[in-house]
Amino acid sequence: MARVDYDTLAQTLASLTDGETDDVALMATCACEIHWSDNRFDWTGFYRVVGKKTLKIGPYQGGHGCLEIPFSRGVCGAAARTGKVQMVDDVDAIPDHIACAASTRSELVLPVWRKGKLLGVLDIDSDQPAAFTAEDSDRLAAILTDVFDR
């Protein structure tokens, strides 16, 4: 499979989510479409902000994910804590990485916002080292803004 066609992905998600306001429905649709758009993406899902500095698993595609992640730990926690995209080429180099799947080699985590409020993070894991690019980060961030913060 070729790498993701971001123009097509953006158009597909805009069409599928048009008029939808439920966060879980939006997350489920995004997780599915993003996951199946590129074979580098081995686990694709959302962790939702559910309380003070706590993320809980949301809709995802792939094997089991971690059920709860504190803002203080791991790549997802760092994205939630800082509000910044986290792109990790080698998860084994991250001292507090939370290994939900032993096969994961690299990770991309993007904060998801609505009107300045953090809803959660989109977490994409790859079994390939250094699987993600700045284009992936930039284009996915734009798609998330279009879907959740329109």
* Segment 48-83, tens digit of pLDDT: 999 889 999 999 999 998 899 999 999 999 999 999
- Domain assignment present for 16: yes
User: Residues 107, 127: contact at Cβ < 8 Å?
Assistant: no
Looking at the 3D structure of the chain, how many domains does it have? 1
Q: Could you please report the per-residue DSSP string of 24-78?
A: HHHHHHHHHHHHTT-TT-SEEEEEEEEETTEEEEEEEESS---SEEETTSHHHHH
Residue 85 forms part of a structural domain: yes
Domain hosting 106: range is: 6-148
Residue 140 has pLDDT above 60, yes or no: yes
Residue 1 scores a pLDDT above 50: no
CATH number at residue 104: 3.30.450.40
**Has residue 139 been placed in a domain?**
yes
CA dihedral (21, 15, 12, 128) in degrees, to 10, reads: 0
Q: Residue 36's CB: how many other CB atoms inside 10 A?
A: 14
Backbone angles phi, psi at 33, to 5 degrees: -65, -40
In a domain, 12, yes or no: yes
Contact at 8 Å (CB) between 43 and 124?
yes
19 pLDDT band, cuts 50/70/90, is very high
Does residue 67 form part of some domain? Answer: yes
Query: Is 71 part of a structural domain of the chain?
Result: yes
1 in any annotated domain: no
79 domain-assigned: yes
